[in-house]
């Protein structure tokens, strides 16, 4: 599978966010990718914190465009969307939406809200149910979903790999700060190695975030990494390579609970 990761800068301009989505799909098509991954908050982002005013209902304009592009370009598209909560009076959800074949095939609501490093995401957002499966199938792969701060909690990635995921996608708007880039890189590599899965870190770039979208293979090798530029990262993932790594290092079978 060829994976395209769109490292883009998102603002509060939702019309611009849709234009970026369309441009990213164009890039992915030209790269002959099957899977396109955009960052957390791809539908609209306020660097000062999650802005509930940017929330759209399920099936809103951003998701409609995702559906259209997935069918037009035969792409599986994953993007972070700030979604209006269907339950009246509750804060929006930080949701990963997956579109393929012209349909929304699954969603995942971020479980671990970013209540750390002087941020308080839970003041503005509702947390997802920890019991979410967070898995879907694309061609011969099972793909797991998690978002940004989830990366710091190894049990969520382990749940994905235990559920059969060979690839785990982690879109993020990873906040900048002392040692934050080193932590991003280290955590992606650790999750890949301990779960013998491919980790796709799809990071936003721009003010207040670190960028550095990265694809780490199941043995911990960095297949591709960007810096802080606006660009697209392309990486090929082979199921046979993952299976070979799991044969050489059967840690998922050897673990004792």
Q: The domain spanning residue 55 has which CATH number?
A: 3.60.110.10
Mean pLDDT for all residues in the chain:
97
Residues 184-200: pLDDT tens digits? 999 999 999 999 999 99
| Beta sheet of 135-138, edge-to-edge order | 135-138, 141-145, 167-172, 198-203, 214-216, 222-225
Domain around 165: 2-254
In angstroms, the CA 11 to CA 132 distance is: 29
- Which pLDDT value is given to residue 257? 81
Q: Considering the chain, what percentage of its residues have pLDDT values greater than 70?
A: 100
pLDDT tens column, 183-242? 999 999 999 999 999 999 999 999 999 999 999 999 999 999 999 999 999 999 999 999
Distance CA 192, CA 24 (A): 26
Residue 19's CB is within 10 A of a number of other CB atoms, namely 12
What is the per-residue burial (b if ≥16 Cβ within 10 Å, else e) of 205-216? bbeebbbbbbbb
Cα(198)–Cα(59) distance, integer angstroms: 30
CA distances from 40 to 98, 150, 169, 246 (A): 12, 12, 11, 29
Q: How many domains does the chain have?
A: 1
Pair of tokens at residue 8? 């883009």
Reduced 3-state DSSP string for 196-230: CCEEEEEECCCCCECCCCEEECCCCCEEEECCCCC
CA dist 214 and 222 (Å) reads 7
Tens-place pLDDT, residues 98-114: 999 999 999 999 999 99
Q: Which two tokens stand for residue 12?
A: 């509060």
Statement: residue 50 has pLDDT above 90: no
Report the pLDDT value the prediction gives residue 11, as an integer from 0 to 100.
96
- Return d(Cα 247, Cα 229) in angstroms, integer: 37
pLDDT tens string 116-159: 999 999 999 999 999 999 999 999 999 999 999 999 999 999 99
How far is it, in rounded angstroms, from Cα 6 to Cα 27? 9
The per-residue pLDDT for 49 is: 79
């Amino acid at each position: 599978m060829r994976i395209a990761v769109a490292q883009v800068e998102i603002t509060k301009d939702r019309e611009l966010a849709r234009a970026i989505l369309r441009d990213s799909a164009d890039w992915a098509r030209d790269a002959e990718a099957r899977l396109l991954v955009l960052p957390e908050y791809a539908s609209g982002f306020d660097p000062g914190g999650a802005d509930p005013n940017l929330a759209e209902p399920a099936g809103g304009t951003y998701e409609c465009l995702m559906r259209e592009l997935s069918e037009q370009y035969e792409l599986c598209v994953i993007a972070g969307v700030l979604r209006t909560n269907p339950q009246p009076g509750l804060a929006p959800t930080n949701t990963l939406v997956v579109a393929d074949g012209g349909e929304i095939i699954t969603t995942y609501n971020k479980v671990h809200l970013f209540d750390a490093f002087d941020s308080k995401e839970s003041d503005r957002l509702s947390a997802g149910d920890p019991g979410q499966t967070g898995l879907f199938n694309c061609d011969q792969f099972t793909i797991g979903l998690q978002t940004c701060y989830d990366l710091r909690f190894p049990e969520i990635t382990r749940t994905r790999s235990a559920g059969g995921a060979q690839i785990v996608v982690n879109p993020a708007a990873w906040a900048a700060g002392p040692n934050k880039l080193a932590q991003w890189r280290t955590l992606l590599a650790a999750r890949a190695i301990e779960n013998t899965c491919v980790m796709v870190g799809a990071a936003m770039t721009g003010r207040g975030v670190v960028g550095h979208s990265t694809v780490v293979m199941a043995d911990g090798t960095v297949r591709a990494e960007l810096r802080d530029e606006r660009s697209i990262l392309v990486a090929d993932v082979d199921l046979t390579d993952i299976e070979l790594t799991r044969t050489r290092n059967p840690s998922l079978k050897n673990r004792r609970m």
